[in-house]
Chains A and B, each alone.
Chain A
Amino acid sequence: MAGAVIKCDSVYKIFGANAKKMLQEANGNVDAKTFQKMGCIVGVNNASFEVSKGEMLVVMGLSGSGKSTLLRCISRLTDATDGKIYIEGQDLLSLKNKELIELRRNKMGMVFQSFALLPHKTVLENIAFPLQIKGIKTEDSISKAVDMVKLVGLEGRENYFPRELSGGQQQRVGIARSLAVEPDIWFLDEPFSALDPLIRKEMQDEFLRLQEKLKKTIMFITHDFDEALKLADRIAIMKDGIIEQLDTPAKIVLNPATEYVKKFTEEVPREKVLKIEDVMEKPNIENLSDLKVLKDEIIENVAEKILTQEKSVAVTDVNNKIVGTVHPSKIIHTVFGGRKNNS
């Protein structure tokens, strides 16, 4: 893809004394167990993918699956053991320290699980920090920080210290800080995992609102499959350092590639995830009911209407052009069929 902002080409990250040598000997065929016997731990195993401009890739995996390590390779907080990483066509691993700092100062922002705010600085100073590091004047950086405070809705708390804020508020500061330099690429490392469920939902909605407005290229790490489904354009599911499947949420739910992925998808309420277009069939003009539904509708929202019909329902795009049909039985099958105790 020409417009790929982030591109990974068989990236490996192996922790251990002579990881590099062992990797060469293994010739790309890395087996976590044999490596572990030799005293090496495999963090990321042959990861290749691209993220295009304005896309949100969610990397999902349980703890120890290597998802955070992958993110740190791409932000070069750790150096990948092998492989190529390109940021907007630039070879990340060949960058000199100065160039890397320049890249981080202008193109990258990152949000952390435990917020990672500087305890000695106020909300405002924390947000202004990356700007001041860049060498921007105090006045300008503070006025920019004030804008960011408004963006994340923390007005009135500018002079609070992180310890005086709730978890949700702290993460808002973290988000504001990561956005202060107006980066193109936005890394989020389990940003909402440390928050209470209700706050988490609120923050997810807030996050979607922000992304709607800002259209950043995003890599988002989570261990929560529901969160991944809710936010992602595409999801990469990782296990033991390997990307098991990388696809759109709908395709992952409908066609889990491995047994491991299937375990996650089984419990997912499909009607809440899938859109009509995900289940529609080829347009068949004959024998349609009078009802028409938009292809972008979530199944849950139109299921009741469709199920009252006996014949297939026409699916249209925004221009009212029929692009497919869906039969009520298909809806029933999607929602209730294919589950463990039914099959």
Chain B
Amino acid sequence: MELLKKYPKLFQWFFLLIVFFALCFAIDVPETYKFIRVQAEFIKDPNQSTYTLFGKEVRYYAFDVLWRLPPLLGWLPIWVNDSLFFLLNEWMPMEFWNEDLQEYKTRPLVLQITRNITALMTFLIELIREILLGGVKTVVAFTSWDWIDKNPWAEMPGLPWTIVAAGAVILGYKLSGKGLAIFAGLVMVYISVFGQWKPSMQTLSFILVAAPLSFIFGLTLGVMAYKSKRVEKALYPILLTMQTMPQYAVLVPAMVLFGIGDHAAVIITMVVAIPPMILLTLLGLRAVSPEVIEAGKMSGCNNWQLMTKVLIPTARRDILIGVNQVIMVCFSMAVIAAFIGAKGLGWNLLLALNQLNIGLALEAGLCISMIAILLDKMSLAWANKQEDYFGNLTFFQRYKNTLFFAVAVLIGIILSYVGSFYLKDGYNYLYEVPHNKGISTAAFWNKGVDWIWDTFFQTLKIFNTWLITEVLQPMRALYLRMPAVATVVLVVGAGYIIGGIRSALVTAGLVLFIALSPWWDRALVTTYMATFGVIASCTIGLTVGTLCQQNKYTTKFMLAVCDIFQTFPSFVYLIPVMMLFGVTDTSVLIAVIVYATIPATRYTIEGLRSVPAGLHDAASMSGVTKFQRLINIEFPIAFPHMMLGVNQTIVFALFMVIIGAFIGTEDLGQYILKALSDKAGGGKGLILGICVAFIALIFDNLIRTWVQKRKKHLGID
């Protein structure tokens, strides 16, 4: 009783668990219940019940309401899909001038708008792509195909790879110095020598459109949200959902609106990349001290000057993290967007993975990662650049970079011209090393994989079987055994204990949405996989983070490792695990664990680092040992920050679980993947995505509320 008085919450948790387990045992598994392995939507089963709402027929397997709630929201995906269709094809037909036919044609407004956006995006991508690779489409955009046929000389000449490489080196030198220049050079030479030039440039052209556009839109919207409370309030829930929505899920509705191809990929990338940019811009602007703003005003800034010269530069640090995020997302999407026809490295990567050609996939993955790291470093260096007012520079010094580039262009052109004479019969390697004609290490890697399989087959297989039969299957069965009502009670109860009525209502709304959708079972499977991943990641992250934090150098090293790992597009993680474990659930889970360990480690280190030095000294003077200090001082204080890390870990884990659908899982992700190839998949993909986002948001809400209370309690902020 004493204990209960001291910790009233403990009693509440205890009570909640008793209720939960009581419900679990009281509600029996219905005899007719089995985990449905095929898509119920596609097969008419006489055992299914139906209901009709808003003219939509929804089929489902009826169970006791306590066991599984009926899919009352089953009409939603169909309705969303129909609405999209209506918007696109029937709503607001208007007269539009058709350039090709030279007459006015009637077209629905939304269709016209999306077609215009499509045209613009396609033009931008083609422009950059043809500067890098050459082609005729840009010229066509200003003239016509007929004109091109008559004038065969009219073609954008692509830049020889030597010039692009030299440009990258000079840019790297100008921005940051020798280090970056050398790195840029290495990356470019690697890409070229390994025959990845063309797909790399295709990916690059896609990113050079998507990233700046995302940056501009994100910054603008962030500034608008900063200026107006109303905009912020309207944006916030969308941002929150978008941040936790798996990137796959956005593909489907975007495909409905914009079709497939590079332009659709750019739009989807923007949809995914803009929210973090907005949030970080807002965060940065909020953190600018009021005195700095006043100083700007007293210097006579008008609103525009105040924003561009005072606020945004002062908030630079956070905005830069935003840029960084945008670049990461762009590369991550460069792969995922290949599902809807974006060309480039991502496409090659997917193809190679599909053929289980691990070596080829590895090469493409390495290329993407290296370009990602390069662009990331360049954007950072650019933002940190400083101008020198005192240098009394000569003309040559002032323009040396431009001059060098001009010289490089000249040499590059001459080289490729000379090359065209000497390498007549084969390929002009001095102009462009064609795909698959460079050095390829794929064979080597594939042999390596074979060797691993030959040598460790037994060990891996035993481990794999053990994990699946002893750990994963029982865990999955446990999750599926939970009656819907018990789960809802557990989640809402947790919400109430942690955050009171408000949190309880929010979590209730989120969990009921999932429970009433037709995919509750799938959501449980997703949750089980994510849970496994999160537990493993947190254990590893916490241990590694704590150990590394004991020493200044290991801390720095670990943070750098986290930085680099974070730059890898999420899809790349699938490559090595498929090398080792083949196409199994284990592969997905290992990828999840590796991917989700990054935030767990980072936040642990950051949390422990944020413990004030004064407290360290105070503890040392009380004569604690290192271990006691860790347990009694550092962990309790760092815990709130570490919990935010857990939050991130959950989001990361869910992302990876969904991406794991590519390998073959049975959860929500698989359904999203299926919706991609489904004609009426738009609504389904969206609702499935929202389901995943809501799983993340339930944890997000609980953890954030708890962290806030805890921080207030500890007096840190």
A134-B300 Cα distance, complex, nearest whole Å: 7
B295-A133 in contact (CB<8A): no
Contact B314 A108 (CB under 8 A): no
Find chain A residues with CB under 8 A from B314 CB.
Answer: 118-120
Q: In the complex, what residues of B have CB within 8 A of residue A118's CB?
A: 292, 295-296, 310, 313-314
- Residues of A near B301 (CB, < 8 A) are 101, 133
Interface residues in B521-542 (C-beta closer than 8 Å to A): none
Does B470 lie at the interface of the complex (its beta carbon under 8 Å from any beta carbon of A)? no
Q: Which of B297-314 touch A at CB < 8 Å?
A: 297-302, 305, 309-310, 313-314
A117 to B300 alpha-carbon distance, docked (Å): 15
Interface size class on chain B is 20 to 34
**A277 shortest CB reach to chain B, Å:** 37
Given A116-B291, A116-B292, verify A130-B299 contact (CB < 8 Å).
yes
* Total interface residues in chain A, CB < 8 Å: 38
Do A114 and B289 touch across chains, with their CB atoms under 8 A apart? yes
B386 at the interface (CB under 8 A from A): yes
Q: Are A112 and B300 in touch, CB under 8 angstroms?
A: no
- Whole-angstrom distance from the CB of A107 to the nearest CB of chain B? 10
Q: Known contacts being A101-B300, A122-B386, is A116 close to B309, with CB within 8 Å?
A: no
CB of A116 within 8 A of CB of B289, answer yes
State which residues 31-65 of A face B: CB under 8 Å.
Answer: none
How does the 8 Å CB contact mask read for A110-144 relative to B, with 1 for contact and 0 for none? Answer: 10111111111110100001100110001000100
Residue A109 at the B interface, CB < 8 A? yes
Most buried by A among B294, B316, B389: B389
Q: Determine whether A289 belongs to the interface, using a CB cutoff of 8 Å to chain B.
A: no
Closest residue of chain A to B383 (Cβ to Cβ) is A120
Q: Is B35 an interface residue (CB 8 A)?
A: no
Within 8 Å of chain A (Cβ to Cβ): is B390? yes
Could you tell me the dominant secondary structure of chain B's interface residues? helix
Chain A neighbourhood of B300, CB < 8 A: 101-102, 104-106, 130, 133-134, 181
A198 interface hit (Cβ, 8 Å): no
Quick check: B295 and A120 within 8 Å, CB to CB? no
What is the 8 Å Cβ interface bit string for chain A, positions 166-192, against chain B (1 contact, 0 not)? Answer: 000000001001100100000100000
Collect the chain A residues with CB atoms within 8 Å of residue B298's CB.
Answer: 75, 77, 104, 108-110, 178, 187
Contact check, B309 vs A133: say whether CB atoms are below 8 A apart.
Answer: yes
> Contact between A159 and B390 (Cβ–Cβ < 8 Å)?
yes
Q: How far is the CA of A129 from the CA of B300 in the complex (A)?
A: 10
Interface residues of B in 278-296 (CB under 8 A from A): 289, 291-292, 294-296
Distance between Cα atoms of A178 and B299 in the complex (Å)? 8
State in angstroms the CA–CA spacing of A134 and B299 once bound together: 9
Q: Which residues of B contact A108 (CB under 8 A)?
A: 298
Complex Cα distance A177/B291, Å?
A: 14
Cβ of B320 to closest chain A Cβ, rounded Å: 11
CA distance A147 to B299 in the complex (A): 18
Closest residue of chain A to B313 (Cβ to Cβ) is A120
A115: which B residues are within 8 A, CB to CB? 291
Interface residues of A in 66-93 (CB under 8 A from B): 72, 75, 77
Ranked nearest first, the 6 interchain pairs of A and B with the lowest CB-CB distance are A105-B300, A130-B299, A116-B295, A116-B291, A110-B298, A104-B300
| Given A77-B297, A101-B301, A118-B295, 7 additional A-B pairs, CB 8 A | A75-B298, A101-B300, A120-B313, A120-B316, A129-B299, A129-B309, A138-B389
A-B contact pairs, 24 of them (CB 8 A): A75-B298, A98-B302, A105-B300, A110-B294, A110-B295, A110-B298, A112-B291, A112-B295, A113-B291, A114-B289, A114-B291, A116-B289, A116-B291, A118-B292, A118-B310, A118-B313, A119-B314, A120-B316, A121-B313, A124-B389, A129-B299, A130-B300, A133-B299, A142-B389
